[in-house]
Structure formats: structure tokens, C-alpha cells
Structure 1
């Protein structure tokens, strides 16, 4: 077997088993330990593996968080249904904080033009809501994160401390036993303060976010009151939420339903 063929087979083995040892390479491909080590060196140079004592593992893979405009183009029907259910929970005279996530924007787009107050650090949410004449909009001022279109910084956090609201709607990159996580610390710091200022904390997350842990933890599961998602979570995850007194609302998505 040529080296190129062997390297492909080693990668296939890693994808199924997550790790491989020098001894396993020798046994699987009937080669010497020196040859096995040379194969691993080659794969390491190509950044395909991480070498360990006596073998190799696959490198950690982190999904790229696309910029806000690109994420808006891929807002799914699942997110729209989550947003519709979330919007139905906003009543006249409510005071509500909306964060800067695309799932929360799906909510903003479907809020009726009723007499309520919306506070947000998202220039997109403010623009969407500006077409609804009865809604009072409070846009938090701060430093603009241009790629993801949210305002952050000490001025945002300080201003938030002045508000006490009925509900906050929070989007996440991941929600798991490790809590609520996000890709950017500056975004997470603002979300953390938003949560502190609300009587009811509502997290909007489609099923792809459940069980995921990302870079920066900004809240614990026990900080949440309600999770709105698109599919009924697995039993283990439901039990985790129940243990932390988190209620679940599911906007079931039927295939072909638009």
C-alpha cells in the first residue's frame, strides 16, 4: 500500500474512532513503527491530526460563526417558528429586552404593533421594530461590533442597569450542562447584564444549539425560566432542564410546513 492510500485509511479510522496508536497503524497496515511515525508526522504537517504520546487524535473543530448579514440569509423556518411563538408572549404594556441574535430578530419581525417598550443593543432589531408605530424603542448606545451588528461596552452595561423589565429574549450559540455560551465575550457580557434586569428569562434556540458548548459562558441553566425550541429535546436534555427548573415550549416544525 502506498503512503497516500495509507494516510487516507488512517484518517478514515480516526473519523470513526477519534484516536489511533502507532501500534494500531503497524497492525492494520503491516508496517514498521518507523513507517507509522512517518505517516503521523506527514499528517501533522498537513494539520490533519494532533500527535499524542504513542499516536494521534483528530484536532478540535469549531464551527465558524458567520457575520450577522450572512446568518440572516440562512434564517430557517425553524427559527421563524420559534420567533413566532416568542412574539406571541409579548403583551400590551410589556417592557422587553431583545438581544442581537438572528433567532431573536425572527421574533422582532413578528411582534405585533402594540403599546410596549423594547430595549435592544441590536441595530437590526431597532430597524425592524421601527416599522411598528406603537412600539417604543430604546436603542442602547455603545461601541458597534460591525461584523455582527451589536452595540457593546461599559456604556451599554451601565445603561442596562437602569432598566427593570418583564422579559428578556436571549439567543445562544450553545446551551448545555455547561450553561449558556456564545462565541464573543463582549456579546456575552451584555447578555449577562440583560438577564439580571429581567423578571423572566426566555432563551430562543433551535435544536442544533442544544447540547453544544461554545467559547464564553455568560449564564447558568438555573438563570433561565423558559426555553423555546423547534423540536422536543432528548429525554436526557429535558431532565437536565427540569433539574434546573427550566420550562420548555416547542414550536414543532413539520416537514413541508411553511
Structure 2
């Protein structure tokens, strides 16, 4: 494939997935990392992308953080597989924290009928779990972010400080050497507290989030215990996780690729 063809395909991929890492380019087009970087430099010169550490995103004029209802309609099979793997870690009697992400919602969807307590600031998570008879739900009250349907603010963080749980399940927009990042600071502050209150902090992130750095860092890699994803990361990414004591779980389908 000629470079011009790759550049068109890279932009097409970004319009669908919002982010693309150097590793994604290497895997998809069977090129070296140097070739992938040259492609990104060329696209940046054309003002078609914005380069990030480890990959690229579209310029702000082409990007948007989709509202929650839109993202619900586009929950991928990869996210469902991650959610299924996360749900398999839940045990009878567990106290849990679930954040607002659609990948974490995939976990809530697939939780078995067992007695446990879930603390969340997500209206959607509470609605899904309300159909599971044995699950006790504690919905954290605060200011409503209408577009993305989560509650935030000092009252949410204060309330969280009184709960101690076995596991928290957290979604991200990016996870990289710069830690866990997200677009909205108010959401990130709540996620930070959710991690602090759990014995085990579990991050759910599909492969498009790996190597990505977003606007607001809410935790460092050393703050989390387990990352569940759908494709094996690059060796350098695995080494980074090991260095910070983070375990890695790749979904069954991804592990067999």
C-alpha cells in the first residue's frame, strides 16, 4: 500500500474511533514504527491530525465527546468482552464502585444474579442494576452532568470517602505513561476518589485507549491494580505496566489473536 492510501485510511479510522496509536498503524498496515511515525508527521503537516504521545487524534474541529446516549448505541463487541471479563471477577457479597463509562456499563449488564452492593454516580448504571433483584444500589447525589448523565461535585466526593469497597471499576479515555486521563476534570476528580476507596482498582479500557493521553490526569499507573483490555498491548506497554505493579488481563478473544 502506498503512503497516500495509508494516510486516507488513517484519517478514516480516526473518524470512526477518534484515536489511533502508532501500534495500531503498525498492526493494521504491516509497517514499521518509523513508517507509522512518518505517516503521522505527513498528516500533521496537512493539518489533518493532531499528534499525541504514542499516536494521533483528529483536530478539535472534527472531534467531539459523544453524549452518553450516542455512546450507548455504539458499545462495541470488544467493550462487551471487557465487561464480561470484569463481571467474572465479582463475588457474592462484594461491595463495589462502578463509574460512568460505557465499558463499565457493559460490566453492569453482565453481572450475575448475586447479592452485592454497588455504589455509583451514574444514572444509567443505577437504572440497569435496578433490574437485578439481589443488587443493592447506592446512588451518589450531586450536581447532574446532563449530557453524560453522571453526578459530580464535592458532595459526591465527600460521600465516597465514607465507603470502603473490594473493587472499583473505572473507565478511561486514555492510559499511558502519563497515567489515567479523561476529558472532563469534574468526572476525573470523582474517579480519583473511587480508586482511593477500593482494595482493588480495576481499569476497563479497549485497545484504542492504550498509549493515549487526554486532557486531565486523575490517577497514576501505580494507583491501579488491574487493567482489562481486548488486545495484547505492545511489549513496551506491558513492561510499563509491570514496572508500576499493574496486572494485565486480555479478554479471551483478544488473547487468541
TM-score (norm 2): 0.77
Q: Name 1:184's counterpart in structure 2.
A: 184
Q: CA deviation at 1:19?
A: 6.6
C-alpha separation in 2, matches of 1:151 and 1:173: 18
Q: Name 1:174's counterpart in structure 2.
A: 174
Q: CA deviation at 1:17?
A: 3.0
Mark the CA change 1:190 to 1:230 in structure 2 (over 3 Å): closer, same or farther: same
Query: Superposition RMSD on alpha carbons, in Å?
Result: 2.3
Q: Name 1:246's counterpart in structure 2.
A: 246
Q: CA deviation at 1:170?
A: 0.2
**Structure 1 regions of 5+ residues with no counterpart?**
1-12, 21-42, 51-57
The aligned runs of 1:62-211 (5 Å cut-off) are: 62=60, 63-211=63-211
C-alpha separation in 2, matches of 1:203 and 1:145: 22
Q: Name 1:230's counterpart in structure 2.
A: 230
Mark the CA change 1:231 to 1:149 in structure 2 (over 3 Å): closer, same or farther: same
Question: Which of 34, 58, 61 matches 2:59?
Answer: 61
Mark the CA change 1:215 to 1:115 in structure 2 (over 3 Å): closer, same or farther: same
C-alpha separation in 2, matches of 1:229 and 1:253: 11
C-alpha separation in 1, matches of 2:43 and 2:179: 26
Q: Is the 8 A contact 2:79 2:206 kept in 1?
A: yes
1:176-222 deviations in Å (ceiling 9; x for gaps)? 00000001000000000111100000000000000000000000000
Q: Is the 8 A contact 1:231 1:252 kept in 2?
A: no
Mark the CA change 1:61 to 1:253 in structure 2 (over 3 Å): closer, same or farther: farther
Q: CA deviation at 1:224?
A: 0.8
Q: CA deviation at 1:65?
A: 1.1
- Give the 3-state SS of the residue equivalent to 2:227 in structure 1: strand
Q: CA deviation at 1:113?
A: 1.7
Q: Is the 8 A contact 1:99 1:171 kept in 2?
A: yes
Q: Which has the larger radius of gyration?
A: 1
C-alpha separation in 2, matches of 1:129 and 1:48: 42
C-alpha separation in 2, matches of 1:69 and 1:210: 24
Q: How many residues align?
A: 210
C-alpha separation in 2, matches of 1:160 and 1:134: 22
Structure 1 runs, 4 residues or longer, greater than 2 Å off:
13-20, 47-50, 58-63
C-alpha separation in 2, matches of 1:49 and 1:220: 27
C-alpha separation in 2, matches of 1:172 and 1:59: 16
- Give the 3-state SS of the residue equivalent to 2:96 in structure 1: strand
C-alpha separation in 2, matches of 1:172 and 1:249: 16
C-alpha separation in 2, matches of 1:69 and 1:125: 13
1:48-106 deviations in Å (ceiling 9; x for gaps)? 799xxxxxxx9972542101000111000000000000001000010000000000000
- Give the 3-state SS of the residue equivalent to 1:144 in structure 2: strand
